[in-house]
A and B are shown apart, each in its own frame.
Chain A
Amino acid sequence: MTTIDDTQIQGLVSIRVGGETFGVPVLSVQDVIAPVRIDIVPLAPPEVTGSLNLRGRIVTAIDIRKRMGMPAREPGASHMSVIVERSGELYALQVDDVGDVLWLAVAEQEPTPISLSPDWRAVTDGLYRLDGELMLVLNVERFLTLAPTQQLAA
């Protein structure tokens, strides 16, 4: 997975969620869509908002704020969905805003600070110091693996 050559650069789609900036590897991003109708899935874990229909494919919507333990989005606030693929299935990450695709050298990626909460460190691969802000690199695979306890809590 992480056998990336030091000289390589990686593309990250920057997303903003509740004042934080995350980078999603551009290769796993399929699409960015405006809010659409989401049908709820009863009994689903709280992070799962529901499912939506993206051109005939069923996409499971995940609320990043809930997944990261952040306060819920204010009702009526604008948001976007970043569609990512994991082993053939599509997931929609609900974010506040989507920024540019940043091409950054892999060598410049720094490890996540030890002081970050374990929950966050578990789903991030590292971070970049950008101008005026920090961007955490999201590990999509781990992000979409909900802990069993979380599922039970549902």
Chain B
Amino acid sequence: MDDVIQDFVAEAREGIEALDIKLVTFEQTPDDPALLGDIFRLIHTIKGTSGFLGLSRLQTVAHAAENVLGGFRDNTLVVTRDAVSAILQAVDVVRLVIEGIATDGAEPQGDDGLLIARLDAIFAAETSAAAPSSPPVSPSSRPMLERLGGEATIDAACECAIGELVGDAEIGPHFAGVDIDGLQAGLRDGLVAEARNTARGGFAATLAAAFPRLSEDQTCRVFEATRTALVALEADPAAVATILADPAATTSPVEDEPAQPAAPPLPRPVSEPETANQTIRVSVDVLENLMTMVSELVLIRNQLIQTLRGEPESPFAGPLHRLNQVTSELQEGVMTTRMQPISGAWAKLPRLVRDLASDLGKSIELVTSGQETELDRQVLELIKDPLTHMIRNAADHGLEIPAERMAAGKSAAGRISLSARHEGGAIVVEMADDGRGLPADRIRAKAVSNGLITSAQAVAMTDADARQMIFLPGFSTAAQVTSVSGRGVGMDVVRTNIEKIGGVIELSSTEGQGTRFVIRIPLTLSIVSTLIVESCGERFAMPQGSIVELVSANGSEGRRIEHINGSSVLRLRDRLLPLVSLQTMLGLSGPETPRGDACIVVGKVGSFTFGVIVDRVFDTEEIVVKPVATILRHLKLYSGATILGDGSVIMILDFKGLSLEAGASHLVGGADADETEPAAVADVTQQLLVFRAASEALKAAPLGQVARIEELERKSVEWVDGRSVVQYRGTLMPVICADGQPVVFESDARRPLLVLSRGVHNLGLLVDEIVDIVEGPLHPQLYGAAMGSAASIVVAGHATELIDVDVYWLKVGLGAPNETAAPVAAFGSAAAPAASVAAAPTKRVLVVDQSPFTQLLLGPLLAQAGYVVEVATDPQRALALHDDGAVYDLILADTSPSSPYARQMAQAFGKASSWHTTPLLGLGAHRLDTATGLADFARTGECEDILTAVSETLEPLKRAGG
């Protein structure tokens, strides 16, 4: 019994899968009798079998649906959207019950009363609607059909008759090779049509088609048997006799009236069984097993070939060649058994689109092509969900409502097209809609409001780049959450799922014209093209799909691995590539290989590109992927294992895992250069140039202050008035040592020279050695005491003096005495009295400005000059700061009347009572325009102007306070 139910479940599942598509197609082409016949038969089979197996819930629902379908077929019921919806709902219940049976072995509980009532109501409408609409048919046919006991009785009678005749010694043999179900349906349909007076002779014609060699006498016996069965089933004997008169008597009417409507059903029962018998059901396990065996065979073959490679004269050479060929063919053959047409993944889509269209009040047309394209069933399963999700998105966000479309000059019905094709060992699936496209501006705005990017980045971003952001986690452009989509878990999951199977997804969109996604996925997951690499004598496989290129870092063309604070990078063309070492990451120990000639495999995961340092690169190889043992599954660096031709087992590295590992522990600031947020970084860290000078201790200078790094020879140093200078770019540049003294060369060796630049002036700072460039804190933490030292910071675990370049400018007499003196004094350089260092707190400056200029430039600039800077992007925030009790020494704000915030600004400052004594400097459109009338723009750059004005404003304050 169990087996029977299992078979039934398997068969019903397949049938239901097909039903969805067929019903939707049927709704569009209600006049296709073949299609309707198919649907009817499917439902009928389910009803029949479930009745036989005692699955009553299934039977009732299927029966009610069958009634309505019967109405469609007999043209007594008009195909309406509502009716099709009801049937689809019935199919859903059937599916639910089937799945319930599959899991629990019994029908799940549930009340289908409403659904059945709905179906019955539709069916009942048939009787009432059909009566007036088709007067010639109903009066005579209905009584006849009723007298015969209805369709179900006729069907049962046909079944009984066939059952009896199969056992008959004379007629039985004719049944060999005949599709009994088809025959039964044909006979029943013929009788019913005759009873309804819609067609004549269907019964006899079906019989003749099924049994061409049946004698007249035998045909009569079939009639007789059916008659007996009908009468036994309590049909009116008179009606039975009329409808099933012996063929001899009915031949003439049949010939007179060619049975046109009866003709279409004929080819079906005959042709379909042939194709149906071409396939058999094989369990997936058997195929998997077969695949494993073939993989093994491939390995043995590879081993044999390797063994015999050295002996070309071997007598085994010929047979081995044959074995080689046969194995390849076998492998291919087994692979194809796992292949399924992509339509399997699409089967549910027409139904989905239909439901979406009615839910959303849109009209949507789904066009598919290339559904016969085959791919591995495993891949198929994995792309189902992403595809469904994308269709949902297209229907919900992509396509406009009909009115909107008409207004835009498009057809009212939106179109979603889906196509699949093979392209060079991969499957390309394209999904396009002709909707409104992806609005780049709305995506930008959304990304900014979600905090994914800053407004400055949004402005700098191209439309194409902006659209790519829909793949970021937590992103949704839907203005409102609908039941369909817009919950913010979307395209990132799609991308993740597709990348998980080694695929890529690309997107292009034209606003107002639509969106197109192109997905490229591998044909199969079980065989992957990989690159075999070696590290410390261990071999690993790296999937080719994620590899961008191979780079040899042997020092030629300037390519060598460089180190920044213990992490490795490679200068590759115009970018800095973060590197990870396979050896370090896998904790391998082996002979220390010189890093100089290492190979670097450049991989890409999403938009993150990084390099993996390996010792050697072998060939590419097509490998059979085997899953990682459960016991090792927590190791995210491996995506699988495989057996190589020489029989050794190697692990397949997972680029995603590598990148995670790389980002987490091996890459300091390893985020892709493109993705780093400049504004965010600028707020907390700055680039520092670490060097040694004067003493062993490390020193650091803000990289922004260093214009160039040159090398200086002793002989180029000249002396002017006790000062050391060099000729630099046509002018004399003062050169000093880190201790502020004129340069002293102990030897003839060239020494690095930091060229500091300010306006048109240059200053050379002679150092002993350039050490590194690192990320360091922006705000100095501790005042130093040594000459030129602004603070001590910790860089890579070493205490490092952050130098104050202003001191050097002052030293060479180039620092403008007034403006630079103030911050320097506040900094507590050696010249400042120790008491004032402790007493005078750093000046606090508030900048109120909404422009990126402030955030990107002015804030860091002021911070660098030694002020504590707070940036408020609008007057409200500034007011909030005030209400929190913040006190500032100076406020910089855009107070120009042209500012969009001018009014708010004035109001905010009116309310900020405790700030009324704080000096206010007005910031005009990127220019300084002081409210107090101080205006000095004679100097070289804007930065200096601002700094000057700030320090000048603060100077009297300092004096007053100090």
**Using a CB–CB distance below 8 Å, which chain A residues touch chain B?**
37, 39-45, 48, 50-53, 55-58, 60, 62, 86-87, 89, 91, 144, 146, 151
B650: which of A39, A43, A60, A87 is its contact (CB, 8 Å)?
A: A39
Given contacts A48-B632, A87-B630, contact A56 B295 (CB under 8 A): yes
Chain A residues whose CB sits within 8 angstroms of the CB of B293 once the complex forms: 56
Is the pair A144, B631 in contact by a Cβ cutoff of 8 Å? yes
Q: Which residues of A contact B634 (CB under 8 A)?
A: 151
For the complex, is B833 an interface residue (Cβ under 8 Å from A)? no
Q: Say if the beta carbon of B588 comes within 8 Å of chain A.
A: yes
CA gap between A48 and B292 in the complex, in Å: 24
| Residue pair B648, A53 in contact (C-beta under 8 Å) | yes
23 contacts between A and B (CB under 8 A): A37-B648, A39-B648, A39-B649, A40-B538, A41-B638, A42-B651, A45-B631, A48-B631, A50-B649, A51-B641, A52-B649, A53-B643, A53-B647, A55-B296, A56-B299, A57-B296, A58-B643, A60-B629, A60-B631, A62-B631, A89-B629, A89-B630, A151-B634
Residue B885 interfacial (CB < 8 Å): no
Most-contacted residue by chain A among B588, B632, B637 (CB, 10 A): B632
Residues of A within 8 A of B647 (CB): 37, 53
B852 → chain A, closest Cβ, in Å? 45
How far does the alpha carbon of A102 sit from the alpha carbon of B415 in the complex, in Å? 71
Q: At the interface, yes or no: B587 with Cβ under 8 Å from chain A?
A: yes
Residues from chain A with Cβ under 8 Å of B338 in the complex = none
Q: In the complex the two chains form, what is the Cα distance from A107 to B634 in whole Å?
A: 39
B626 in contact (CB, < 8 A): yes
Q: Closest A residue to B540 by CB, please name it.
A: A42
**Which residues in B have their C-beta under 8 angstroms from that of A89?**
627, 629-630
A146 surroundings in chain B (CB, below 8 A): 631
Q: Does B586 contact A (CB under 8 A)?
A: yes
B-side contacts of A87, CB under 8 Å: 630
A-B contact sample (9 more), CB < 8 A, given A52-B649, A58-B626, A89-B627: A37-B647, A39-B538, A40-B538, A41-B632, A41-B635, A42-B651, A44-B632, A58-B649, A60-B631
Nearest A residue to B535, CB-CB: A42
Give 5 nearest A-B pairs by CB, closest first. A56-B296, A42-B586, A60-B629, A51-B649, A39-B649
Q: Known contacts A57-B292, A89-B629; decide if A41 and B648 are in contact (CB<8 Å).
A: no
A58 touches B641 (CB 8 A): yes
Closest B residue, CB atoms, query A36: B647
Contact with A along B624-664 (1 / 0, CB 8 A): 00110111101101100111000111110000000000000
Interface centre among A45, A52, A53, A91 (most CB of B within 10 A): A53
Indicate which residue in A41, A57, A144, A151 contacts B651 across the interface (CB closer than 8 Å).
A41
Q: Given B538, B629, B630, B631, which contacts A58 in the complex, CB threshold below 8 Å?
A: B629
Which residue, B586, B627, B634, has most C-beta atoms of chain A within 10 A?
A: B634
Partner of A43 from B292, B629, B637, B642 at Cβ < 8 Å: B637
In the complex, how many angstroms separate the beta carbon of A92 from the nearest chain B beta carbon? Answer: 11
Least CB separation from B537: chain A residue = A40
Please state if B587 and A43 are interface contacts (CB–CB under 8 Å): yes
Docked Cα-Cα span, A40 to B648, in Å, equals 10
**Which interface residue of A55, A58, A87 has the most chain B CB atoms within 10 A?**
A58
- Chain A residue numbers with a CB within 8 Å of B631 are 45, 48, 60, 62, 91, 144, 146
Chain B residues whose C-beta falls within 8 Å of the C-beta of A42 in the assembled complex:
538, 586-588, 651
Q: Give bound CA distance, A144 to B641, whole Å.
A: 19
A84 to B: closest C-beta gap in Å:
12
Q: Chain B nearest CB: distance from A140 CB in Å?
A: 12
Give 1 or 0 for each of B296-317: 1 = CB within 8 Å of chain A CB. Answer: 1001100000000000000000
Expressed in whole angstroms, the minimum distance between the Cβ of A63 and any Cβ of chain B is 12
Write the nearest CB–CB distance from A72 to chain B, whole angstroms.
Answer: 18
Interchain nearest-CB distance for B297 vs A (Å): 8
Q: Which residues of B contact A44 (CB under 8 A)?
A: 632, 635
Contacts of B538 in A (CB 8 A): 39-40, 42
Kindly report which residue of chain B lies nearest to residue A60, judged by CB atoms: B629
Measured between C-beta atoms, what is the minimum distance from A82 to chain B in Å? 16
Q: Which residue of chain B has the shortest Cβ distance to A44 in the bound complex?
A: B632
Report the separation of the CA atoms of residues A50 and B648 in the bound assembly, to the nearest whole angstrom: 11
For the complex, what is the distance from the CA of A91 to the CA of B638, rounded to whole Å?
18
* Chain B positions within 8 Å of A43 at CB level: 586-587, 635, 637
CA distance A58 to B640 in the complex (A): 11
Instruction: Report the Cα distance A55→B643, complex, angstroms.
Output: 10
**Interface hub of B629, B638, B648 (most chain A Cβ within 10 A):** B629
* B residues less than 8 Å from A56 (CB atoms): 292-293, 295-296, 299-300, 643
Q: Closest Cβ of chain A: how far from B292's Cβ, in Å?
A: 7
- Chain A: minimal CB distance from B632 (Å): 6
A-contact bits for B26-55, CB 8 A (1 contact / 0 none): 000000000000000000000000000000
Q: How far is the CA of A60 from the CA of B648 in the complex (A)?
A: 13
Which of the listed residues A51, A91, A146 has the most CB atoms from chain B within 10 Å of its own CB?
A51
Closest to B630 in A: A89
Report the minimum CB–CB distance from A27 to chain B (whole Å).
19
Closest to B632 in A: A44
Residues of B within 8 A of A37 (CB): 647-648
C-alpha spacing A86/B647, complex, angstroms: 23
Q: Which residue in chain B gives the minimum CB-CB distance to A56?
A: B296
CB-CB < 8 A to B627: which residues of A? Answer: 89
CA distance A45 to B292 in the complex (A): 27
Output the least CB separation between B658 and chain A (Å): 12
What residues on B are CB-neighbors of A144 within 8 Å? 630-631
Kindly state the separation between the CA atoms of A69 and B867 in the bound complex, as whole angstroms: 61
* B300 to A, closest residue via Cβ: A56
Which of A51, A55, A151 interacts with B629 by CB under 8 Å? A51
Q: How far is the CB of A76 from chain B (nearest CB, A)?
A: 22
Interface centre among A41, A52, A60, A86 (most CB of B within 10 A): A41
Which of A42, A44, A53, A62 counts the most chain B CB atoms within 10 A? A42
Closest to B298 in A: A56
Collect the chain A residues with CB atoms within 8 Å of residue B588's CB: 42
Give min CB distance, B152 to chain A, whole Å: 48
**CB contact list, B274-293 vs A, under 8 A:** 292-293
Determine how close the nearest CB of chain A comes to the CB of B105; give it in whole angstroms: 20
Looking across the interface, which residue of chain A has its beta carbon closest to that of B641?
A58
How distant is B774 from chain A, measured CB to nearest CB, in Å? Answer: 30
Q: State the CA gap A123–B587 with chains docked (Å).
A: 30
Task: For the complex, give the distance between the alpha carbons of A60 and B649 in Å.
Answer: 10
Chain B residues positioned under 8 Å from A62 (CB to CB): 631
Complex contacts, A55 vs chain B, CB 8 Å: 296
- Distance from A53 Cβ to chain B, minimum over Cβ atoms (Å): 5
Q: How far is the CA of A75 from the CA of B331 in the complex (A)?
A: 42
| Shortest distance from the beta carbon of B31 to any chain A beta carbon, whole Å | 52
Please indicate the chain B residues that have their CB under 8 angstroms from the CB of A58 in the complex.
Answer: 626, 629, 641-643, 649
Closest Cβ–Cβ distance, residue B304 to chain A (whole Å): 14
Return the chain B residue nearest A151 by Cβ. Answer: B634
| Min CB gap B195→A, angstroms | 58
Q: How far is the CB of A56 from chain B (nearest CB, A)?
A: 3
In the complex the two chains form, what is the Cα distance from A45 to B635 in whole Å?
A: 10
Instruction: Give the contacts of B420-478 with A (CB-CB under 8 A).
Output: none
Tell me the complex Cα distance, A51–B642, Å: 10
Q: Considering the chains assembled together, what is the distance between the CA atoms of A86 and B629 in angstroms?
A: 10
Nearest to B634 among chain A residues (CB) is A151
* Least Cβ–Cβ distance between B534 and chain A, in angstroms: 13
| A41 → chain B closest CB, angstroms | 6
Q: Which residue of B lies closest to A47 (CB)?
A: B631
Chain A's closest residue to B294 (CB) is A56
Contacts of A151 in B (CB 8 A): 634
Interface string of B123-152 (1 = CB under 8 A from A): 000000000000000000000000000000
Q: Please indicate the chain A residues that have their CB under 8 angstroms from the CB of B649 in the complex.
A: 39, 50-53, 58
Please, how many angstroms separate the alpha-carbon atoms of A56 and B296 in the complex?
A: 5
From 501 to 557 in chain B, residues with beta carbon under 8 angstroms from any chain A beta carbon are 538
B637: A residues at CB distance < 8 A = 43
Query: Contact mask B580-624 → A, CB, 8 Å, 1/0?
Result: 000000111000000000000000000000000000000000000
Residues of the A chain whose Cβ atoms lie less than 8 Å from the Cβ of B629 = 51, 58, 60, 89, 91
